[in-house]
Each structure stands twice: as C-alpha cells, then as structure tokens.
Structure 1
Amino acid sequence: MMKDDSNTKSQAELPTRDYYKALHQAALTISSSLELDQVLQSVVISITEAMQVKACGLRLLDQDTGQLQLSAVNGLSNEYLSKGPVNVVNSPIDSEALKGSPVYIPDVRTDARFQYKEAARQEGLVSVLCVPLEVHGNAIGVMRVYTDRQTNFLEDDIQFLSVLASLAALAIENARLYENIRNSYHGVMNAFWGTHVSL
C-alpha cells in the first residue's frame, strides 16, 4: 500500500496534474526519434515537471556487474550522483522494484531500504517512488522520482510513472533492435563486398 495517513500534517500529496499531456508528449518523442539518450532525457524531464517532484532518474541494470547504471537524470546534483555505485544486492528498494512492483519510501533519510541515506539527507531528498522498467515481462532497470518533502504518492501518480517507465523501456528495446539490425546489415554487406559499409 503506497499511502500512509499516519501523519497527515507532516506529509503532502502531489498536486493534481494533467498527466495526459505529458504522456502524449512522451509518446510523440519516443515514436519520432531513435536517439535513445535524448529520448530518455526528455522522458525524465517530462516526469519531473508533470509530477512536480524534485528529481527523476532512470537506471539500467548491468547483468554482468549487478549494478544499476545511470542512463538519464533530471534534478540531482553531480555531488549526489558521484556518491558511489548502486548495487542491486545493497539496494533493497531497487531489488524489490526489479521484481515487478512499485516501491514507495516515505523518508529515505531513515529507511534501511535506501542505500545512501546520508547522501540523500545532504541532497535534500525525502520521499521516493521507484518503479521497474520491463520488456516482455523482464525488468531491465528502474525509474525513481524524488521529493524534497514527505509526500503521499496517489494511485494516479504511481500509474503515471509506471506508464512512462513502460514507454522508456519500449524506447530502449526499439533502440537495441535497431542497433542489432544495423549490425546485422553491416555484417552481411561487409561479407558480400569485403569492405566496410555504413548506413
């Protein structure tokens, strides 16, 4: 359950937003470009603005190292981003999200599920919502939003972030498929002509 009403005076709900406009813009961006870095950056910026949160970040899972590598971010300082690697085994919030469910932490400064509590305190982070990025039922990464005050994420907020995460995962899958097709094309043409061919 994402909402905790035990201390409503110290918590706030995100303001009502027209998420449809942000979803439409993200879908247009994803469908009109194969420049993955630009697409993902546009998505995290759209999420930050639409949800009126402090920051948003997207990390992809490196299966070889077990680390979540930063792919796009908006609203976090370089100091915070250089705090250290995000290892799935040391980050229960990400480990849980990678199993397929949204994870909400009311206060990352004190919650044991958050790997870098002191860094979060210095950055002014309080509440975090984390959702998985999934392709064909397999989690390939996570998307997080951060607030600077204790915040209740409503069902609309969770659904919005989950849909954007799905769109981002689709963009990543499309970019990977395009890269595979391009590499296959190069391989065939190089074998046929015995020379380097580029698109």
Structure 2
Amino acid sequence: MQRTIDSLERIIALGEKLLTTFDIEGLLTQIVSNVKDLLRADGATLYLVDPIEKLMISQVILSDRVEEIVLKVGNDSIAGYTALNRRSLNIPDAYGDLSQYHPALKFNREIDEKFHTHTQSILTHPLELRGELIGVFQVVNKKGGAFDDDDLRILRNFAVIAGIAILNARLVERVVEEQSNANDIIEHIAEKVIIHDLEGRILSLNHRATEDLPAGMSARDAKGKKVMEIFPMLAGLEGEVKKVIEHNLDKTFSGGKMPYVILTAKNARQAIEKVILIIKEPVNNQPPGPPPATPEDPA
C-alpha cells in the first residue's frame, strides 16, 4: 500500500510535466520512459490505436532503443487482446500456455529474436478516456520478480494522466494545424485583411494590407499601433467595429461602396478576443461614411 501511495505522489508530479508537453513524439517518449521507471521494468511499450485501420502503432523502449512495432487489434497478440477486450493482463510467463485467456492468444517470439531479449513477465492495461480507446500499455520483465496487483494499480492510475496528456497534445496539434491553414488562406487572398485586438491595436496584416501601409513602414512596424492611425481611410468602419464588440456579434458585413466583412474570434467563454477586418476592394483615400451594415447574431 505504501508503494502505491508513493507512486501516486510521483504520478501527480509527472502529470504536471506531461500535461504541459504538447509535442506528440516527445510526450509519448516521456510516457513510456515513466511507465518503465514506475514499474521497475526492463521495457515498456505504448501502442496507439488506429480505429479506422484496426492497427496499433507503438512507441517502444527496449535496452534504451526506441523502435516501432505494428500490430492488429485482435485476440492473437497480447496487446491486441487487451485493446479488443479492454482488459488488463498479468502474464507471469510469456512463453507459457496462454489459452486460459483466449484460445488464439500467443506471445510473438519474433520480437525477442529481433531485439535479442527474453520476455518473461508481461503486464498490459488499456488506455481509455471517456469511453474512447487511445492505446495499450505493455510492460515487460519486472526487475526482481513478477508483476503484482500494486503494479496494476500504479499503471491504471498513470494511464489516466497519460490519456489526458495525449488528448491535450492532439488537440493543440490540431488547433495549430488549423491556425496555420487559416493563416495561409488569409495571407494569399486578394482582399485586405487586418486583425486587431479589442483596443484597435494591429496584431497582424496580410500581404495585401501591407501594400497600403505608409511609405517606409513594414508590417512589423505597424504591429501594436492603432488601425485608424495607420489606415485613416478606414475611419468609417470604426463605429461598425464598436457595435460588433458591444453586441458580441460573430460578424457583420456590407456590400456598399466599400464592401467589407468584420469577423470576430472568440475564446471558450464566447467573449471576443480579436477582430478581423476584411476589405473586399481597394480603399480610396477618402474616408467613407458609415455604410449600412447587416449584423449577424452569434449562433
């Protein structure tokens, strides 16, 4: 029991680090290394499940080497059985008779032959979060004996932190990718795009918008300055932007003499954080009057 308590304290400490690591490859390596250390094992594997292809792809640490193993989700392998049935296994002798678990279950000796190792004991546990199967932990050869119930409890507790960390890293990776794609689109569209904060300070400009900057000013120089100071020809839109912010709208637009779209970027609390101005035609040097706008309430 004391070992379980001590391990929980260590898992909490490790969790703080894992939950702030958003690089997927680095995170998986940390997770496998931590499992190996926590359970005092010779080796550990984290198989990530591909639900479409019904495959499991591993991050492995064996003799300080990282290798990849691909398995099918099914009853003919130890990790595959754990994934398919979502059940932990504690096998004291990998080369023994495994038919008590399933008639088709067997240990793949090719892995031992490839890495010049001998697998004796194996402990597995499914990595689940909110009913979603993320992967399978497989830990081999506990130093000084066989795996016990304490080891399984430790692995189960660590799996919760690991699952949250992996999903967080995947989410951040997806957001970064979507943001990158959006930035590419903004940069290359023909319209002028100006992104500013709630105080009207410029955060970024696309290539078309930089063409209308004052002589000698770069996009970097413009950042942090007020939009209307740098683009006085847009003064007619200042009132429209203010309305959008005050009413927490998603967007407003006009097809008048100076067609424009005003979009907003909101946080998780649905509060506006940024305003995106899209000017659909080149702006002349005369400040336009406030054009008729068509607001759109948040969905």
Which TM bucket (shorter chain)?
0.7 to 0.9
> Percent of aligned pairs with the same residue?
21
Give the 3-state SS of the residue equivalent to 1:110 in structure 2: coil
CA contact (8 A) 1:110 1:117 kept: no
CA contact (8 A) 1:44 1:57 kept: yes
Residue 7 of structure 2 aligns with which residue?
19
Query: Structure 1's 176 and 118: CA in aligned 2 closer, same or farther, altered over 3 A?
Result: closer
Residue 65 of structure 1 aligns with which residue?
53
Query: Structure 1's 149 and 156: CA in aligned 2 closer, same or farther, altered over 3 A?
Result: closer
- Match for residue 114 of structure 1 among 103, 106, 110: 106
> Which one has a bigger Cα radius of gyration?
2
Query: Structure 1's 47 and 158: CA in aligned 2 closer, same or farther, altered over 3 A?
Result: same
Q: What is the distance in 2 between the residues matched to 1:76 and 1:163?
A: 25
Gaps of 5+ in 2: 99-104, 190-205, 207-299
Residue 19 of structure 2 aligns with which residue?
31
- 1:67-146 aligned at under 5 Å gives the runs 67-71=55-59, 73-76=60-63, 85-89=70-74, 91-98=76-83, 99-112=85-98, 113-117=105-109, 119-120=111-112, 123-146=117-140
CA contact (8 A) 1:126 1:149 kept: no
Count of aligned residue pairs for this structure pair: 179
Gaps of 5+ in 1: 1-15
Query: Structure 1's 186 and 100: CA in aligned 2 closer, same or farther, altered over 3 A?
Result: same
1:71-118 CA-to-partner distances (Å, cap 9, x unmatched) read 3x223476x957x64222363422332232211112111244234135
Query: Structure 1's 62 and 188: CA in aligned 2 closer, same or farther, altered over 3 A?
Result: same
Give the 3-state SS of the residue equivalent to 1:134 in structure 2: strand
1:134 CA drift (Å): 1.3
- Between 1 and 2, higher relative CO (CA 8 Å, sep ≥ 6) is seen in 1
1:147 CA drift (Å): 0.7
Q: Taking structure 2 as the reference length, what is the TM-score of the superposition?
A: 0.52
Query: Structure 1's 119 and 74: CA in aligned 2 closer, same or farther, altered over 3 A?
Result: closer
- Match for residue 177 of structure 2 among 179, 183, 191: 183
Structure with the larger helix share: 1
Query: Structure 1's 21 and 114: CA in aligned 2 closer, same or farther, altered over 3 A?
Result: farther
- RMSD over equivalenced CA pairs, Å: 3.0
CA contact (8 A) 1:22 1:47 kept: no
Query: Structure 1's 28 and 68: CA in aligned 2 closer, same or farther, altered over 3 A?
Result: same
Query: Structure 1's 148 and 31: CA in aligned 2 closer, same or farther, altered over 3 A?
Result: closer
Query: Structure 1's 152 and 44: CA in aligned 2 closer, same or farther, altered over 3 A?
Result: same
- What letter is aligned with 1:38? G
Structure with the larger strand share: 2
